[in-house]
Structure 1
């Protein structure tokens, strides 16, 4: 199971199976991101697609006719897109249209399109199930920034989640058993909506009910800890400190940045170094960057020695690869340099150590004193980081009689910490306090003591290793050991498994994190007999997670 391969297979089929010749790709605001996650612009152009346009762009009503061009339409089956496409077909600009929808298309919409195709320019209408963002081979997102309001689904987010999960199942040819987190109405509603469509679309899901395939739907509120922690692996660090948006990282705020590096693409499909280092820790990344630069310098010296016609010919032939390697080296040195600057400037190693102690050790007095000490000496610490420390403390201790959450909040106010972050402390308790959680996150008996490991060998890089494991690790471990309790994670159907599942899709309502992606990667690596794919309404860093928390609580009180 590989969501990137599944998405690329559909894109290849769409581009290659139409008639040969120059093509234009007509997309919507979401499908352009879906394609860009698995294909670079130059890769698309090599397949005779010379132009990509938006269906919803403001185009002149009397533009030039391009009847010699074939138009590949790749859009989501929304009402707005159907209307826009009908307008396009009434006054066709291109000679032939091959239409591909990312999801199940209603028969009524097929009829409407046929009625508007008066000039019979439509050659093909098909459903190609890529209604998701393929992030890593085992990770997908639906790009939904917030999913609930007042502890119930935000209606458009529910509909989008149903469509996204159906497309994942269809693209991977799965008709799984469905289990969901029992205390979550959001998980239950989504599970039964999906079951309803599967039961209705029996022809589409004719792969057969497979007791060894499972869709497990979880609620972000059961683990509010993981999205709040600082991260120490490459992909997760970049997202936490710089933010990854559809494989792109905006570096325009970096002082002295060149125009070429103001926005960089980090795609495992297009960047071998990134693919190899996604899950490496901070210290290992520093060493690998050093090795990459040394390899480049050796090649650069080789290029400088042009002493004959043969040397010139060799240089011309290898220059594109050399230039690409040069760009890759510059990109990663810039990104890692910015990560290092953030770590030092904001004392993130020190902050992270206390975070890990709070979530991993049983020492209320020690935790309290360390947080107070950090608040009193927070000259180099950001408001967001100190507030997240208090949030972690509050999530663990707020219901205890000796809790000093309110005292810590008062200290933050004395230090003029932004009111936004003060509110977030209470928001997180309302969003995901013990009343919302099915699992006991901070079970001291299961806690693993923090360990430090410093990676030495590269000046200026120290990597702290932490032992925090997301709740997802415990859930998957119980699932594969046959210990995931049915009263806590019920089935939507009466089918029972013939054994433990071998193919599992885990979907988290309220968003996933790259730390959880690492957990799934590790399970897949350590247990070759199982395949797990992780998805969520979005992929969170702490900033986007707190924005979703604030939005859901604000709507609750509005």
Structure 2
């Protein structure tokens, strides 16, 4: 199961079916992102697509009848109306129309009635309605999907469409499990189940072994693990997202001091950048050594290029120049990115901050940790954002501790002008009353299996103080893949549970996934499993805090009354 390959196959299908000749690609805002995540512009030009245009933006009325138009859009009412207008007065010789999801028959009729010149050659559904981030990671690019702890209805429908498209593109008809007691998870499971039932002919996939368990769609709720998105990250992709933010494979470096003019925005794509692809999950120390090795290799090649003394040297230079230039660009880009990461780690004292974060997340030591949090929150050299994250992690772990001092910490943050209203909202969103399962392993009585796993985990020790934390998702997946019962926490929707472990698992996190969770999925897949992770968005700590504030907007504070005076952002 590779979501990048699935998208690429659909795009190949579109360009191949239109035949040879110059082509223009008409897209909408979302399908533009879907294409750009899988292909570069030069890749598309090799497929004879030389022009790119948005169907939903103003354009000239110039007739270009020598061009074939490939239309790739989402099946929204607005897009169908725009396409009908285009077909009534066609600017191109022929149209090959592909919708990224299921198209209602009524819309097919509207399009047919608008095609007066009979210029439409193909009209098909393809199921490329999600952003492929990594081979095992997809996103629907929908931050802030909940309002008042309930679904924004447009976001709910978009989730149903995106997940349905993913299942169809991977040819999976899954059993569905959802987080018990989560109204958003129950609603999403219900809508997907109904969609699969309604479109049963599309999901009629032949299976080689009828006795095999069905694939599993596991719908989770972000509030069960608020810790993972709040932690500093130390693997390359996750670290870039936390400190610089990755937006549809692009990183904005315009505010980085000393960045070359042509690197104000860089593309980090697995398909187009071999160094990035090979070092996606490498830690910060390993990245530094790898880029140094690459620079040494480049310097050796650069010296050899200076000696052009014969015809043979000239020919060798011409043959190797494109590769040489590409290598030069790759090194320059990653040196700038890694350099900025290093600057921020030093400037923000992230090694000290991250060590304390990991300690709070992984073990209980209230008194010592409280003193260290107070010290760092009061330190002017620690950014307000990092101070806030430490208070959030402390409050989540110790909210019911007899000596919990969240009030004292918030008073310290308030003196620095920090956003103290975030903490009571976080506890309302994902406090102990809201979570299920044992996020911090605090229960006094465990079942035998969990007790054994906990002891083994403790005996193994910690190789790296900055990567002690294991995300909640990994523990859930290990239970699923080893056939342990998860019925009380994640019941099946619409069917009886299958007792044998599934061979394919799709995980979808309402409220957003993280790159740390993608790393956990990657590790399990490397061990022979078959898992794809997706979410409404991909979070770093900043976007997660914004997600929480949006979800709790208008929600009364009931479960952290002692912090009620910090609830309002006014006057901060």
The alignment's TM-score, normalised by the length of structure 1, stands at 0.94
Q: Specify the alignment match of 1:313 in structure 2.
A: 315
Q: Structure 2 CA distance, aligned partners of 1:402 and 1:486?
A: 35
Answer yes or no: is the 8 Å Cα contact 1:74–1:99 preserved in 2: yes
> SS at 2:507's partner residue?
strand
Instruction: Give the Cα–Cα distance (whole angstroms) in 2 for the partners of residues 354 and 97 of structure 1.
Output: 59
Provide the C-alpha distance between the structure 2 equivalents of 1:368 and 1:251, rounded to a whole number of angstroms. 36
Kindly indicate whether the alpha-carbon contact (under 8 Å) linking 1:24 and 1:72 is maintained by their aligned counterparts in 2. Answer: yes
Quick check: 1:273 aligned with 2:275?
yes
Distance 1:165 1:188 in 2: 15
Is contact 2:355-2:466 (8 Å) kept? no
Paired residues of 1:452 and 1:465 also in contact (CA < 8 A): no
Aligned CA distance change for structure 1 residues 452 and 305 (closer, same or farther; 3 Å): farther
Distance 1:552 1:409, change over 3 A: same
Q: Which of 136, 139, 151 is 2:137 aligned to? A: 139
Post-superposition offset of 1:139: 0.3
Report the CA distance between 1:453 and its aligned residue: 5.5
Whether 2:295 is the aligned partner of 1:293: answer yes
Aligned-pair CA distance for 1:451 = 6.7
508-517 vs 313-322, which moves further: 313-322
User: How far apart are 1:211 and its partner, in Å?
Assistant: 2.4
Instruction: Determine the structure 1 residue equivalent to 2:560.
Output: none
1:101: which partner in 2? 99
SS in structure 2 of the partner of residue 37 of structure 1: helix
* Counterpart in the other structure of 1:398: 399
Q: Tell me which moved more, 89-98 or 429-438.
A: 429-438
> CA offsets, 1:85-119, max 9 Å, x none?
11111111001000000000000000011111111
1:238, CA displacement in angstroms? 0.1
Q: Distance in 2 between matches of 1:542 and 1:498?
A: 37
Partner deviation per Cα, 1:507-548 (whole Å, 9 max, x = no partner): 00000000000000001112x1x2000000000000111111
Partner secondary structure for residue 90 of structure 2: coil
Contact 1:391–1:428 (CA under 8 A) maintained in structure 2: yes
Q: What does residue 21 of structure 2 align with?
A: 21
CA contact (8 A) 1:475 1:484 kept: no
Task: Provide the residue aligned with 1:552 in structure 2.
Answer: 551
TM-score (norm: length of structure 2): 0.92
Cα displacement (A) at 1:493: 2.2
> Higher mean Cα deviation, 405-414 or 172-181?
405-414
- The Cα shift of 1:295 comes to 1.1
1-structure distance, mates of 2:37, 2:358? 33
Would you say the 8 A contact 1:451–1:466 is kept in 2?
A: no
Go from structure 1 to structure 2 and tell me whether the alpha carbon gap of 1:424 and 1:12 turns closer, same or farther (over 3 Å shift): same
| Matched position secondary structure for 1:422 | coil
* Preserved CA contact (<8 Å) 2:175 2:495: no
CA distance, structure 1, for counterparts of residue 554 and residue 143 of structure 2: 14
Partner of 1:443: 441
Q: Is the 8 A contact 2:483 2:499 kept in 1?
A: no
Q: Tell me whether 1:468 sits opposite 2:469 in the alignment.
A: yes
Alignment match, 2:59: 59
Q: State how many pairs are aligned.
A: 541
Task: Tell me which residue corresponds to 1:459.
Answer: none
Name structure 1 gaps, 5 residues minimum: 455-463
Alpha-carbon distance between aligned partners in 1 of 2:434 and 2:499, rounded to the nearest angstrom:
33
Uncovered stretches (5+) of structure 2, i.e. residues with no partner: 443-450, 557-567
- Contact 2:72/2:100 (<8 A) preserved: yes
Secondary structure at the counterpart of residue 213 of structure 2: strand
Q: Aligned partners of 1:517, 1:134: CA distance in 2, in Å? A: 12
Deviations 1:255-293 (A, max 9, x none): 122121111110111111111100011110110011111
Q: Does 1:36 align with 2:27?
A: no
Q: Quote the residue 1:239 is aligned against.
A: 241
- 1:175–1:208 CA contact under 8 A, matched in 2: no
